[in-house]
Structure 1
Amino acid sequence: MLTLLRAGRPRRARRRAGRVAAVALAVAAVLPAATSCAAGTSILDGDSLVIGVKPDQPGLGVRDASGKFTGFDVDVATYVAGKLGKTARFVAAPSATREAMIMQGRVDLVFATYSITPERKTKVSFGGPYYVAHQDTLVRSGESGVSNVRDLRGRRLCQVTGSNSWRRVKEERKIPVELVQSASYSECVRDLKEDRVDAVSTDDLILAGFATAGTKIVNAPFSDERYGVGIRSGDIDGCEAVNKAITEMYQDGTARRLLRKWFAESGLALNFAVPQFEGCG
């Protein structure tokens, strides 16, 4: 009996080892296929696109009570999707979650005043830019002590989570400002009007949409903000197709028409030339 038990153990061990090996082989066979599938996905593969845009930036991206999105970014995204032969569905893309939305596959593209930066390029890729804006400053209309960005010294500056605009003031130009955190630029402008901050500094197209009675743009730009199209890293074919569509948008006069439609009354000097692209490699 003892001999039989001892003889059975190696057989059971061999059977267990065989099952483990079979599972390992199955996993090994599946993993390369899954990795290959992920690497091969592109915005060009499907019939429709989910596109992230801003829900609360007048002139650029706003969601109305019915849930419809309108604005310059929305119109540009619609044009690009059409050139790619796709339908577009829009969702809100707050500044703080744009990279995560792309990386997690919740959106295919992001058109949301998404400035191209080296840090962001470590996480996602960019088509475009589709426009080059310039950072400026918004203050209360009665403010006479701010004529350029350096006059913000010692003042309260709104800091939007996920945005880099405040860095260009406090870190790049070493201007000692007091940062006041906010979730969005719409909240920043509200805080400006209610005297909780002294200034809002970001892209001039954003400020143009918010500039209303009681506020004014300083009109002293101090940076170039290249609005890119956020796209999953590695989708080179999709990126190149986006760039081709943007080029056509400028060549056929659509870019000029859309910029005038949304910003002609702002007084900003609009640029109608095709921007220099970032490159999709």
Structure 2
Amino acid sequence: MNFRKITAASAAVLALAVTATACGSDDKDSGSSGGGDKVKVGIKFDQPGLGLKKPDGSYAGFDVDVAKYVAKELGYDEKNIEFKETPSADRENALQRGDVDYIVASYSITDERKAKVDFAGPYLLAHQDLLIRADDNIAKGADLNGKKLCSVTGSTSAQNVKKSIAPKAQLRKYGTYSECLDGLTSGAVDAVTTDDSILAGYASQDQYKGKVKLAGLKLSNENYGIGVKKGDTKMTDKINKALEKMASDGAWEKAVKDNFGPANYKNEPAPKIGNIVK
């Protein structure tokens, strides 16, 4: 009888220990505190120079380098980063659903988006620009009048040019920027427009080196931020500290040169955290 009582008591203690261990393991899940087993990061998979999934399954680009640096500062090994594709139209939803912990995907900070998500950064100040043939010269936006301008379907960049800069430009809409680049090199179009960082990424690809160049026009300001779930100030603060460190220790400048260098991209200096250029 006494033996049975001791066994029952031991079983109860064991059950409590298992329960406590299970509860403790929940604290290691990925979340706003950082340092868990895995971190889920949203990036683009189809933007050379920024976020690109390569045929071997690895990832490359400036946004990828920023995402990795931030993850390291949050306490994650690179092997524990889980990259998830986040197309532009799904970025806010991906954060709200909890599909990702943060997003680094040429994500311009706007008032409309700030109503739905929080932003760390900015970590890059980009500008709308033009990509033109290497032997061409477009010195100002108005020079596009009468020329064939390419951008992707749904892009606001081309509409901005038509509305405010060169109303007589002949707009051509293609499905992808790669199609626009092929049209540019073949002579089917005269210029391609979107953010200069995106254009620099494409221009840095081997098949376009020496054939195209950035016009160097600053047609708009695009402040790239890291998207975080609305209200997660703890995560936002940690990412901001990581970005400040990245700028101060030279890693930011190295990432710019590694990813955009072949396009002779004249980047702005690393922006100050919270400084949004209108």
Q: TM-score, normalised by structure 1?
A: 0.74
Separation in structure 2 between the aligned mates of residue 233 and residue 116 of structure 1, nearest angstrom: 14
Q: Which has the larger radius of gyration?
A: 1
Contact 1:157 1:179 in 2 (8 A): yes
Structure 1 residues 171 and 110, CA, compared in 2 at 3 Å: closer, same or farther? farther
Confirm or deny that 1:271 pairs with 2:268: yes
* Of 107, 128, 152, the match for 2:144: 152
Paired residue for 1:185, among 177, 184, 187?
177
Contact 1:43 1:49 in 2 (8 A): no
| Partner residue, 2:33 | 44
Residue identity (%): 41
Map 1:28-177 → 2, pairs under 5 A: 42-44=31-33, 46-86=36-76, 87-144=80-137, 146-161=138-153, 163-173=155-165, 175-177=167-169
Counterparts of 2:154 and 2:88, CA distance in 1: 5
Q: CA deviation at 1:247?
A: 0.5
> So what's the TM-score if we normalise by structure 2?
0.74
Count of aligned pairs between the two proteins: 238
C-alpha change, 1:174 and 1:218, in structure 2 (3 Å) is closer
Cα distance in structure 2, aligned partners of 1:61 and 1:276? 22
Query: Aligned runs of 1:8-19 on 2, under 5 Å?
Result: none
Q: Residue 222 in 1 paired to residue 197 in 2?
A: no
Report the alpha carbon displacement of residue 229 of structure 1 after superposing the two structures with TM: 0.7
Provide the alpha-carbon RMSD of the alignment: 2.6
- Structure 1 regions of 5+ residues with no counterpart? 1-40
- Measure the CA separation in 1 of the matches of 2:175 and 2:91: 14
The equivalent of 2:230 in structure 1 is 233
Q: Aligned-pair distance for 1:264?
A: 3.0
Q: Closer, same or farther in 2 for the Cα pair 1:122/1:198, shift >3 Å?
A: farther
Letter in structure 2 aligned against 1:157:
L
Q: Which moved more, 1:54-63 or 1:91-100?
A: 91-100
Aligned equivalents of 1:127, 1:198: Cα separation in 2: 37
In structure 2, the gaps of 5 or more residues are 1-29
CA contact (8 A) 2:195 2:222 kept: yes
In 2, the alpha carbon distance for the partners of 1:216 and 1:152 equals: 16
Q: In the superposition, relative to structure 1, how do residues 127 and 278 fare at CA in structure 2: closer, same or farther (>3 Å)?
A: farther
What residue number does 1:208 align with? 200
Counterpart of 2:142, as a letter, is: R
Query: Counterpart of 2:52 in structure 1: which amino acid?
Result: V
For residues 72 and 231 of structure 1, do their structure 2 counterparts lie closer, same or farther at Cα, with a shift above 3 Å needed? same
Amino acid at match of 1:44: S
Do 2:146 and 2:170's aligned partners in 1 also have CA atoms closer than 8 Å? Answer: yes
User: Given the superposition, is the C-alpha separation of residues 204 and 181 from structure 1 closer, same or farther in structure 2, using an over 3 Å criterion?
Assistant: same
Q: Helix, strand or coil for the counterpart of 2:219?
A: coil
Of 188-197 and 219-228, the range deviating more from structure 2: 188-197
Mapping of residues 190-201 of structure 1, within 5 Å:
190-201=182-193
Distance 2:164 2:98 in 1: 32
Which letter does structure 2 place at the counterpart of 1:244?
A: K
The CA deviation at 1:172 is 4.8
User: Counterparts of 1:96 and 1:180 in 2: how far apart (Å)?
Assistant: 22
1:168 Cα deviation after fit: 3.3
* Cα distance per residue 1:89-129 (max 9 Å; x no partner): 11222333323322333222211111112222233221111
